Amino acid sequence: MTRILRGVAISPGVGRGKAVLLAAQVVAVPLKLSQEDVQEEIRRFQQALAQSKKQLKEIRDHLARMLGKGHALILDAQLHLLEDPAIVRTVRDRIASQYINAEWALELVLRELHQKFQAISDTYLQERWSDVRDVIRRVQSNLMGTRHQPVLEPGEAAVLVADELAPSDVIELTRQLQVRGIVLTQASPTSHVAILSRSMGIPAVASIENVLDQVTSGQEVLVDGYDGIVIVAPTPLQVREYEGKRRYFKQHLRLLVEASRGPARTLDGYPVSLMANIEFVEECHRAITYGAEGIGLFRSEYLYLKTPNRLPTEEEHYEVYRRLVELMKPRPVVVRTADLGADKVPGVWRDFHPREPNPALGLRAVRLALKKQEIWEAQLAAMLRAAAHGDLRILVPFVATVEEVVEFLDMLEDVRQRLRRSGATFRPDPPVGIMVEIPSMARLVRHLGDLVQFISIGTNDLIQFMLAVDRDHEGLRYLYKPYNPAFLKTLVEAIEQARTVGLDVTICGEMAWDIPSVPLLVGMGCPTLSMGPQWIPAIRFFIQELRYADVRKLLERALEMRMGMEVEEMLLEWIQRHFPEGIYHPLLRATAAEVSETASAPASDGETYEWERH
């Protein structure tokens, strides 16, 4: 019987195949050892560690060949966890002191670590718990001789169904099977498995409760990775419908990219630059393909988190940034200094970084940089050196005061002097900017004209701090919206102050690709929007259908309103009135005409393509 399941889309695309159910296979039980057996048990543990390292290195190398070295950093982090002396020592000590088997010693360590992670308030770090769990489960599996053993005929298309999957599981299984979709109970759009699925073009849906109880092994499953729909045992009509949808959006994306080449410019000539937010160097090609005019935000945190037991070297930083600017040349590249601290603290730092009652507002980002300058000096030196190869710009996150800006610039000058003494080749004066994501800084922009060259407004955190709302709290999603009049007035004020003192402005949060918000941002006169590469064609096409004079009046109306709900309703009504047949109607007519000839054609089993739209 056909069943429709609804969840959260975490990787776009449409795919179908036979369900492969992946239930948890590790069940550790305590076994008491004699004193004579302890050394043999420690040897068995060390052997399983070595086997786990070998497996992860093979998976990492395969991923590097397939998607590039940047994505392989996900597995580097797990490899470093296997070598964490604290974990290894604790397991050995438990075996020796409690006379228990290695599987149970690992289970006790896992439970202790789980309690510590549950106390962490930082969402990013909470999601990294999956790395710790996956590594320990892998060692346990090797001790017990159990790993995923899916059984399908060679060449058959598969849809992976599980409560949760680790990135290493995804990579291993894609080497064994033709994976055409992933369905999970637990995963978020920012999780490693979601990032990996998007990079590999595998449609994925998460947040489906008790999914293993709702699907039978071998059943045909259709995954709609845009709308978050999973169809179990689809009818022939549903298969044809989704094959048409897959073809439709594949063609739509192609036409959208072709139609939106060149700069984004409104019908009355107002220009808006569109740039890309990325995390890995390998994403540069995608950014260029989708028409990015530069990299508006390169997140550098992974260089630190992938090696939790040591700091990345200046050369490691330099190689990444040099490749980045050379690939994007002559386009600009904005590299954000590491937004670390709070609970996002690599192990090597914990000796000097105390636990904090409210880490999101604690010692993090620029605050930590100024307190422990030696940690950031290697990164800053590498940035200055890489700037000699292209247009690299330095972005400083989580700035709350002008004093912090002055102190950071003093630290940067110290790094320049060191490079001069060493005789290194570097650019001494790359543009420097700050993130405006704390309300206090939004009111102080006019005082930055003689200090920095640009500001980047991080709307995600700015909304969170202005409205005192946790952006990841499901029960408060109604508050976490960019339409609150107080927030909009703060944006207008910050942009106008920047224009007055000659600073460039970029919006780099989710608001930059939120369709109802884009007319307001254009009306504010924001010259640059930065977003995930996949959104660029759609936003460019939309902007090219707007008139600056119209959206300026729209903004004036929004600023006069009292409630965010009123603003949101007005924006949706305005879009419906100005685009009654849809924002992309001319494109969609062309797409429909081209697709109609093939929409009824039978689909090849398991055929899937990445399709993306706003």
CATH number of 26-144: 1.10.274.10
Residue pair 575/476 in contact (Cβ under 8 Å)? The answer is no
Q: What is the DSSP string of 567-601?
A: HHHHHHHHHHHH-TT-TTHHHHHHHHHHHHTTTTS
Residue pair 367/405 in contact (Cβ under 8 Å)? The answer is no
284 carries an active-site annotation: no
| Confidence tier at 578 by pLDDT (50, 70, 90) | confident
Per DSSP, the chain holds a count of helices (H) and strands (E) of 23, 17
Strand partners, 457: 436, 507
In percent, the amount of the chain with pLDDT more than 90 equals 42
Q: Which two tokens stand for residue 605?
A: 């089993």
- Bridge-based pairing state of the strands 178-184 and 157-162: parallel
Look up the CATH superfamily of 1-25+148-265+584-614.
Phosphohistidine domain (3.50.30.10)
Q: How far apart are CA 246 and CA 238, in angstroms?
A: 12
Q: How far apart are CA 267 and CA 225, in angstroms?
A: 34
Residue 118, C-beta contacts closer than 8 angstroms, at least 6 positions apart: none
Q: Which two tokens stand for residue 599?
A: 């929409």
Q: How far apart are CA 279 and CA 92, in angstroms?
A: 37
76: pLDDT strictly greater than 70: yes
Tell me the pLDDT tens digit for each residue of 459-480: 988 998 999 887 666 677 778 8
Q: Which amino acid is at 210?
A: N
| Confidence tier at 400 by pLDDT (50, 70, 90) | very high
Residue corresponding to tokens 């960019």: 482
Q: Which two tokens stand for residue 6?
A: 């609804």
The pLDDT of residue 154: 56
Mean of all residue pLDDT scores within the chain: 83
Higher per-residue confidence, 79 vs 574: 574
- Mean pLDDT comparison of 203-217, 539-553, 594-608, highest-scoring range: 539-553
Average pLDDT rounded to a whole number, residues 223-252? 87
The pLDDT of residue 280: 81
Catalytic residue chosen out of the listed positions 284, 317, 353, 508 = 508
Q: How far apart are CA 500 and CA 264, in angstroms?
A: 24
- Mean pLDDT comparison of 300-304, 555-559, 606-610, highest-scoring range: 555-559
Catalytic residue chosen out of the listed positions 71, 80, 192, 353 = 192
CB count, 10 Å around CB of 312?
Answer: 20
The pLDDT of residue 143: 86
Higher per-residue confidence, 328 vs 258: 328
Give backbone dihedrals phi and psi of 36, rounded to 5 degrees, phi first: -70, -20
| Confidence tier at 594 by pLDDT (50, 70, 90) | very low
Tell me the pLDDT tens digit for each residue of 99-154: 988 888 988 888 888 777 766 555 555 556 767 877 888 888 888 776 555 555 55
Pick from 466, 403, 463, 462: nearest CA to 436 = 462
Q: Which of 193-197, 311-315, 326-330 has the lowest mean pLDDT?
A: 193-197
Query: Sign of the CA dihedral 407, 410, 416, 417?
Result: negative
| Confidence tier at 325 by pLDDT (50, 70, 90) | very high
| Confidence tier at 590 by pLDDT (50, 70, 90) | very low
DSSP state, residue 512: G
Pick from 459, 423, 411, 424: nearest CA to 438 = 459
Residue corresponding to tokens 């009504």: 573
The 3 state secondary structure assigned to 417-456 is HHHHHHCCCCCCCCCEEEEECCHHHHCCHHHCCCCCCEEE
Where b means 16+ CB within 10 Å and e means fewer, 512-537 reads bbbebbbbbbbbbbbbbbbbbbbbbb
Residue corresponding to tokens 């072709």: 258
Residue pair 423/455 in contact (Cβ under 8 Å)? The answer is no
Q: Count Cα atoms within 13 angstroms, Cβ side, for 54.
A: 7
Q: How far apart are CA 395 and CA 341, in angstroms?
A: 17
433: pLDDT strictly greater than 90: yes
Q: Give the pTM.
A: 0.69
Higher per-residue confidence, 597 vs 530: 530
Pick from 547, 69, 529, 457: nearest CA to 265 = 547
Residue pair 77/124 in contact (Cβ under 8 Å)? The answer is no
Q: Would you kindly state where each structural domain of the chain is located, as residue ranges?
A: 1-25+148-265+584-614, 26-144, 269-581
Q: How far apart are CA 289 and CA 268, in angstroms?
A: 26
| Confidence tier at 562 by pLDDT (50, 70, 90) | very high
Structural domain 269-581, CATH architecture: Alpha-Beta Barrel (3.20)
Q: How far apart are CA 584 and CA 538, in angstroms?
A: 8
